[in-house]
Amino acid sequence: MQNRPWGRVQSGWFSVLLAVLILAGSHGAAAESKKFTVINVLLDGTKIWLPSTLVVQQGDEVELTLINKLDEPHGFKIEDFGIEEIVQPKAQTTVKFTAARPGPHGYICHIHPPHVGGQMLVLNK
């Protein structure tokens, strides 16, 4: 009679432990999906895509939501990944790609050279 509750508790913990191990295993093995929001703002008279640095792991599936808060179209280009978008005023767009190549990959507004961009840093797996 008294062994039954113990049996239940132990198998309960075992299930939790098993689930944690399975989750931990899949977490480490599969490429992750990384989502970021990148916003175009005017700061002291300078147009800037923020944040200025994004960090991902090589092989990650990257999803960027590009938001343009300003009154004219702006570009977002990551040449190394073949990304070249125009984001309309007060609008947003989403781009998806795989961060296949490690290293720093700059992003710019390709229609306004003074417009400040940033970099996506892809870490080696």
- Binding residue for Cu ion, selected from 57, 112, 116, 119, defined by CB under 5 A: 112
Positive or negative, the CA dihedral 37, 42, 47, 52 is negative
Q: Minimum Å distance from CB 69 to Cu ion?
A: 12
Q: Which stretch binds Cu ion (CB under 5 A): 18-26, 51-59, 66-74, 99-107?
A: 66-74
Q: What b/e string do you get for 97-116 counting C-beta neighbours within 10 Å, with b at 16 or more?
A: bebeeeeebebbbbeeeebe
**Per-residue binder mask for Cu ion (CB under 5 A), 68-107, x = binder:** ------x---------------------------------
